[in-house]
Amino acid sequence: MKLHTAEVLHREAFGDHVLLRYRSDAPGGPPEPGQFVSVRPGGSTALDPFLSRPFFVHDSEGTTTSLLFEVRGRGTALLAEASELSVSGPLGRGFTVGGDGPALLLGGGVWVAPLKLLSRSLSRLGVEHEVFLEAPASAPAAYGSWLSGNYPGAELVPTGGAPDASRQVLDRAGDLSRYSAVYVSGGREMLVAAREAAAGRVPAQLAVRERMACASGACYGCAVPVWSGGVRGHARACVEGPVFRGEALAW
Amino acid sequence: MVADLRVELCGIPLRTPLIPAAGTLSRETLGEAADAYGAVLPKTVTPGPRRGNPPPRVAEVASGMVNSIGLQNPGLEGFLRELGGYEVGLPVFVSVAGDTVEEFSGLCARLASEPRVSAVELNLSCPNVEHGGLTFCAGPESVERVVAACRAALPGTPLFAKLASEGVRENSLAAEGTGADALTLVNTIPALTVDPHRREVFLKGGLSGPAIKPVALRSVYEVARLVEVPVIGCGGIASGTDVAEFMLAGAAAVQVGSSSFVREPGDILSELSGYLQGAGLSAAALTGSLRDRERVV
Ligand SMILES: Cc1cc2nc3c(=O)[nH]c(=O)nc-3n(C[C@H](O)[C@H](O)[C@H](O)COP(=O)(O)OP(=O)(O)OC[C@H]3O[C@@H](n4cnc5c(N)ncnc54)[C@H](O)[C@@H]3O)c2cc1C
Ligand SMILES: Cc1cc2nc3c(=O)[nH]c(=O)nc-3n(C[C@H](O)[C@H](O)[C@H](O)COP(=O)(O)O)c2cc1C
Ligand code: FES
């Protein structure tokens, strides 16, 4: 666990959704899309709350990094107010980017976070791609316009929070065999539905979350059920993930 | 003046008194933390591979965490193939666990012929399948059986018995009496977390982190006065002064677990160094030098 001090530069709130931009002089190259950072309030050695909180890198440019997160409990509430952070990362294995295109990007809820960097990487490589995002029913209107601005060309699918919301987003994307690759970062239902729809037709990469303690491969806390060599096992989301190939997951 | 951080444990010189607690060291990031440690101690190894428990496996609680990992590991042979990844110029201690006394002694017999292993730690907080799933450290008779068998299988290598806080006095005497060279005190404390919204058990596991420090400290304090063998303190150590407190209470070395997930071990060591400089003491001189007060009961 290597920690770096970061200074919060900018903060914007859309209801419970917070966009936080910080600057850190941590060494290392730019993050891969789908990688995450593990964050705690900075400026103190107090261990309260005890664990750091994992978040996908939403955007990154030079020494600045942005996170997009939803305030859920005490940890995220404190981070939403913090002016200094203690950050570890970028961590884990992100999306494998490449191929001929067209690629499909599916996002839902706050989990759309890593798709911004992914879309930019694909564009840089000249890989044509389509983006469909489930527009959260509960979020304020400002968030919707912010999403449109930040995911240019993305189609926002208003699902009204219906139980089959993931299905509706998938249906909008149409026949998956049209795509050369599918990238998914959404709620559990969306991951499950997209993985099933893509199986045997198109390679899918899914951004999977699990509860973490160390975020560095030490504790084996972030177990994700996977197939390895034909047998069921557990991979660590923080080092072998958080992005997994659809067929590798033993869900 | 730079503080003298060196200590000795069962004849093994350690550069610093910090050792990673079993199950909390990452092979992937060992290189970053190695400077802080006096020895390397990887996750508990069992005879065969174990898949571990399904998620969720960790939960945060006030001042700590609860875990239920289920000893996920590649098994002894798989571990030995990966052992090179733990060699960073420090002594390597290996934590082992089995379902039965025979499995424990079998692991020790195999490690006895492994020159890269400087010491073996018995994780006695795992369930004894032959005794209705009570842990191996549920009582002194059980501790005696497993430690005696392991001692016989591992005549020439230092053997540590790692115990829980419950029954720690009797169990420590039992382990020392049957040949343990050191005692690691303590393992996690049984704990439960509940999801009140779903009205479900969230996690049944072991509590660790600063929340258990006073309990661990009391175990070290009592046992260090009771036994001749060195005590390795473990439980909630999160700062240099925490290390000093455990050593004052009688620990010859310490293990840092959960806090290494949220602090850099190098920072903990710097704090210890600062403390020692302020006190004009070496690390080794701390051990057991705690003054008692009449009011302590
Ligand atoms: C790889 C990864 C990437 C993530 N990226 C984002 C992101 O970009 N945006 C975002 O809003 N959220 C993200 N999350 C989820 C985020 O980490 C949790 O919402 C956050 O930790 C909740 O903390 P809290 O203190 O507010 O909630 P509490 O419920 O009080 O947290 C208690 C404990 O549970 C853990 N926890 C609670 N909910 C989750 C969850 N859904 N996933 C993992 N751990 C959880 C916390 O980390 C903490 O240890 C990500 C999680 C992972 C594993
Ligand atoms: C995630 C996790 C995994 C652990 N795995 C093991 C293990 O494999 N073997 C073992 O003897 N103890 C294990 N422990 C217990 C620790 O080694 C240590 O005894 C305990 O956590 C108390 O120390 P701490 O408060 O510094 O974490 C584990 C603890 C944690 C938090
Ligand atoms: S969070 Fe500890 S191994 Fe992934």
Inter-chain residue contact B60 with A218, CB threshold 8 Å: no
Residue whose tokens read 């006065």 = B225
- Distance from the Cα of A74 to chain B's closest Cα (Å) equals 11
CA B66 to ligand 2 centroid distance, Å: 10
Q: pLDDT value at position A160?
A: 82
Measured CA to CA, the distance from residue A220 to residue A215 in angstroms comes to: 9
Residue nearest to atom 48 of ligand 1 (CA): B60
Nearest residue to A51 via CA among A41, A36, A61: A41
Nearest to A219 among B58, B60, B267 (CB): B58
CA A97 to ligand 3 centroid distance, Å: 24
CA B234 to ligand 2 centroid distance, Å: 9
The amino acid at residue A110 is V
Q: pLDDT value at position B2?
A: 84
Inter-chain residue contact B52 with A220, CB threshold 8 Å: yes
Count CB pairs under 8 A between chains A and B.
115
- Chain B hits for A232, CB-CB cut-off 8 Å, are 51
CA B232 to ligand 1 centroid distance, Å: 34
| Torsion on CA atoms B91, B257, B97, B251, rounded to nearest 10 | 70
Distance of CA B196 to the CA centre of its chain: 33
Residues of B acting as catalytic residues: 126
- Chain A hits for B263, CB-CB cut-off 8 Å, are 1, 3, 45, 47
Q: Please state, as a whole number, how many other Cβ atoms lie within 10 Å of the Cβ of residue B100.
A: 16
A188: Cβ–Cβ under 8 A, 6 or more apart, which residues?
Answer: none
List the alpha helices (DSSP H) in chain B.
30-33, 75-82, 101-112, 140-153, 168-177, 213-224, 240-248, 265-279, 283-286
ipTM of the complex: 0.95
pLDDT at B79 over 90: yes
Nearest-Cα residue of chain B relative to residue A75: B60
Q: pLDDT value at position A159?
A: 85
CA A79 to ligand 3 centroid distance, Å: 21
Q: Tell me, using a 6 A CB cutoff, whether residue A188 lines ligand 1.
A: no
pLDDT at A29 over 90: no
Give me the CATH topology for the region B7-53+70-188+209-286. TIM Barrel (3.20.20)
Inter-chain residue contact A50 with B24, CB threshold 8 Å: no
pLDDT at B297 over 60: no
State the pLDDT confidence band at A136, using cuts at 50, 70 and 90: confident
Q: pLDDT value at position B219?
A: 98
**Helices and strands: H and E segment counts in chain B:** 9, 13
B210 close contact with A: CB closer than 8 A = yes
Inter-chain residue contact B52 with A225, CB threshold 8 Å: no
pLDDT at A143 over 90: no
A73 close contact with B: CB closer than 8 A = no
- Chain B hits for A229, CB-CB cut-off 8 Å, are none
State the pLDDT confidence band at B202, using cuts at 50, 70 and 90: very high
Q: What percent of chain A has pLDDT over 90?
A: 82
B263 close contact with A: CB closer than 8 A = yes
Residue B266: phi and psi, rounded to 5, are: -60, -35
State the pLDDT confidence band at B296, using cuts at 50, 70 and 90: low
Q: Taking the domains of chain B in order of start, what are their residue ranges?
A: 7-53+70-188+209-286
Inter-chain residue contact A213 with B51, CB threshold 8 Å: no
B34 close contact with A: CB closer than 8 A = no
State the pLDDT confidence band at B295, using cuts at 50, 70 and 90: low
State the pLDDT confidence band at B259, using cuts at 50, 70 and 90: very high
pLDDT at A139 over 90: no
Inter-chain residue contact A234 with B258, CB threshold 8 Å: no
- Distance from the Cα of B191 to chain A's closest Cα (Å) equals 16
pTM of the model: 0.97
Measured CA to CA, the distance from residue A79 to residue A89 in angstroms comes to: 16
